[in-house]
Structure 1
Amino acid sequence: MDVQVVFWGVVLARFVLPFLILKYPLPAILACLLLDGVDQTIFQLFGVDPPNYQSYDKAMDVFYLSIAYLASLRNWSNPAAVRVSRFLFFYRQIGVVLFELTGLRFLLLVFPNTFEYFFIAYEGVRARRNPLRYGFRFWVQIAAGIWIFIKLPQETWIHILQFDLTDAIRDVPWFLPALIVALLVLAAVLWFVVRPRIRPPDWPLRLRADPLPVEMDEASERMAYRAAHNRVLDLAAFEKIVLIGLISVIYGRVLPGVQTSDLRLFLGIAFFVVLNSAIGLWSARRGYGWDSTALSFGVLLVINIALVFIADLLLTRGNGALSLPDTLFFVFLVTTLTMLYDRYHPVSEYRATAARGGVVRP
């Protein structure tokens, strides 16, 4: 099989699979986690050697984790869990950017990817139980347990000791039996010690995301909320700038056609995010919007492509700092994350406001 077909097939899968997290959070993020773990093995099997694999892997990670974060805004009924999720997500994003800028591997230990497993833990709880039963302290304890007992050892293994699971299984005879025994012991502890102490489930297994609140399940309702509560430059706009700007800097380090500084790229992305916010608020205040995600994405994509090429014509006369493929990629990235954020951030804010008022609607 052609190595390019294998490489781009894996890349495409790592871009497409995360969108399932929005509707099937737990199975989809587990699938993303599995693909992240085996992509290097697939590359080795077919003789593919991607240049700068570490940066490529981190860039693909932050994309699917960004979609997972947006899924938490869409789906999570517990505002306390969303606050913990927000901190863990942006803390990790900052660490990945610092790693890309400095190349210091220990930063990945200081800024571990606790968000991913916290997302899995929340969805694991929600699959059988009402997450509204648990308060802020519970979710902080879950995050701390993941951070200390799971992620610190894992990040040390991968990024400090630089061990690879496939290589360890192949080169160390006792490693696979020891790993199997450890997993069996963990399963026994969960089954015989933890399970009997857990309260009965609230409902049958739920793998599909819960419906949106009836007050926010239509585009017109979300747009009315944005029009009433948001401004072009507010905390939501700042969060969106950081979310999209940081991931753009990470991809700017991976894509070969990017010939600009990290700061200039971040500021350019920030400008377009603010411009998109202004266009979105203008549309919201005039009632323009679509329930169809695909139609919303298509309209915003066309607008952004037009804006980018107008800016390129007026400011650089075709001699921009990005190649055409890279320009289109960043347009796709900004459009995707902006559209999803603007679509689902009002849902999360509505739930938080309802909770502060003593009324919580899942």
Structure 2
Amino acid sequence: MSAEIVFWSVVLARFALPLLIPLFPLPAIVACLLLDGVDQTIFQTFGFDPPNYQSYDKAMDVFYLAIAYLASLRNWTNQPAVRVSRFLFFYRQVGVVAFELAGARWLLLLFPNTFEYYFIAYEAVRSRRNPLRYALTFWVLVAGAIWIFVKLPQEYWIHIAQLDLTDTIRDVPWFLPALVIAGLALLAVVWFVVRPRLRPADWPLRFRADLLPVEIDEAHERAAYRVAHRKVFDLAAVEKIFLVGLISVIYGQVLPGVEANDLELFFGIAVFVVLNSAIGLWSARRGYWWDSAAVSFAVVFASNVGLVVLADLLLSRRGNDLQLTDTLFFVFLLSILTMLYDRYHPVSEYRAAAAKRDAAASGQTGAEH
């Protein structure tokens, strides 16, 4: 019983910690990364070895990475960095889906999780400096360096060589001292070589997310923006479909009560995403919005439960307890991701439009002079 309590406590923590990422991006994602690294050790310490741990671990990973991606829409002021973030995130999602379907570990090497460390790198920069200083080339170089020098070796270590850090430290006497020396050498390079060449910091160390633009920091402003710029089915809806759909397919490989095949699950989620978009636009047009994220989630979750009940009545379906539990989980997943996307995507779009206006204005001023 104690092993089961520990297991569910870790699972709950892996769902709860990511919800702090939008407000405390750097410390929250580092906490998620650390928990991801030690959860299997915790399980084994209490005598529990989850079946299909690789699939479970990837499913947990994609949830907190999805929240991190949504946090980048909310917080990041540098639009080229956001575009790189979008590519890296969805590229990894496609790779994880391919891994779940094919079971080939080399796919995780081909589709490395560069997005995670890229997110950390951006937030590390933002903690002291204005990200707007840096152009697209800088962010591409950062992503490329992480991809080649960090993630490829790590993905090979974990998924191809199938080595465990704890076991290696225990079985190879020289490994831990070598690891410590390498870490100290890296810190020395950063402190004595990189740090003196950096420009002065723009502000004191900050870990909390910056304030949103005043023009779109309230719920009624984001609702008005959605009404003015969004349709029930548009590019934003397509992005939401792939965001929620790919994650759902990954969880569909892990949850025991899922009977639908991957294609059926993806298209079923797509229908619910479009229905959510229609309900959201209808609500925004009629002045229904909530500043509280918790209240917004509760409303969206209740609406989706109602849609599921209605669908079951129309289709005369009766599921067992396991299927009901899995259905409620998918409703949770759909509700939390679509709610956060609808809150944060207008902020990113507003910033992108403002950046274009500023660039156009600068160009006109330069031409006049």
TM-score by length of 1: 0.98
Matched, 1:42 2:42: yes
Residue by residue, what CA displacement relative to the aligned partner does 1:282-339 show, whole Å, maximum 9, x if unpaired?
Answer: 1112221011111111111111101101101211432489700001000010000000
Contact 2:128 2:205 in 1 (8 A): yes
Q: Aligned partner of 1:301: which letter?
A: F
Match of 2:98 in 1: 98
Match of 2:112 in 1: 112
Residue by residue, what CA displacement relative to the aligned partner does 1:240-275 show, whole Å, maximum 9, x if unpaired?
Answer: 000000000000000011111010011111100000
Distance in 2 (CA, whole Å) between partners of 1:94 and 1:322 is 27
Match of 1:183 in 2: 183
Matched, 1:76 2:76: yes
- Alignment length (residue pairs): 360
Residue by residue, what CA displacement relative to the aligned partner does 1:130-150 show, whole Å, maximum 9, x if unpaired?
Answer: 001111111111000100110
Matches within 5 A, 1:226-237: 226-237=226-237
Match of 2:29 in 1: 29
Match of 2:253 in 1: 253
> What stretches of structure 1 of length at least 5 have no aligned partner?
none
Contact 2:74 2:348 in 1 (8 A): yes
Match of 2:283 in 1: 283
Distance in 2 (CA, whole Å) between partners of 1:359 and 1:321 is 56
Match of 1:300 in 2: 300
Q: CA deviation at 1:281?
A: 0.9
Distance in 1 (CA, whole Å) between partners of 2:179 and 2:249 is 37
Matches within 5 A, 1:323-342: 323-342=323-342
Matches within 5 A, 1:38-187: 38-187=38-187
What secondary structure is seen at the aligned counterpart in 2 of 1:358?
Answer: helix
Q: CA deviation at 1:166?
A: 0.6
Residue by residue, what CA displacement relative to the aligned partner does 1:108-135 show, whole Å, maximum 9, x if unpaired?
Answer: 0010000000000000000000001111
Q: CA deviation at 1:93?
A: 0.2
Contact 2:256 2:322 in 1 (8 A): no
Matched, 1:243 2:253: no
Q: CA deviation at 1:181?
A: 0.6
Distance in 1 (CA, whole Å) between partners of 2:338 and 2:352 is 21
Contact 1:218 1:291 in 2 (8 A): yes
Distance in 2 (CA, whole Å) between partners of 1:296 and 1:333 is 14
Distance in 2 (CA, whole Å) between partners of 1:258 and 1:133 is 48
Distance in 1 (CA, whole Å) between partners of 2:342 and 2:114 is 25
TM-score by length of 2: 0.96
Match of 2:197 in 1: 197
Contact 1:128 1:205 in 2 (8 A): yes
What secondary structure is seen at the aligned counterpart in 1 of 2:21?
Answer: helix
RMSD of aligned alpha carbons: 1.3
Range with bigger deviation, 128-137 or 311-320: 311-320
Distance in 1 (CA, whole Å) between partners of 2:348 and 2:20 is 19
Q: CA deviation at 1:359?
A: 6.5
Q: Aligned partner of 2:93: which letter?
A: Q
State percent identity of aligned pairs. 74
Residue by residue, what CA displacement relative to the aligned partner does 1:132-174 show, whole Å, maximum 9, x if unpaired?
Answer: 1111111111000100110011111111111110110011111
Residue by residue, what CA displacement relative to the aligned partner does 1:174-212 show, whole Å, maximum 9, x if unpaired?
Answer: 110110010011011111111111111000001000011
Distance in 2 (CA, whole Å) between partners of 1:314 and 1:2 is 42
Contact 2:220 2:289 in 1 (8 A): yes
Q: Aligned partner of 1:159: which letter?
A: H
Cα distance, 1:39–1:98 mapped onto 2, change above 3 Å: same
Contact 1:258 1:321 in 2 (8 A): no
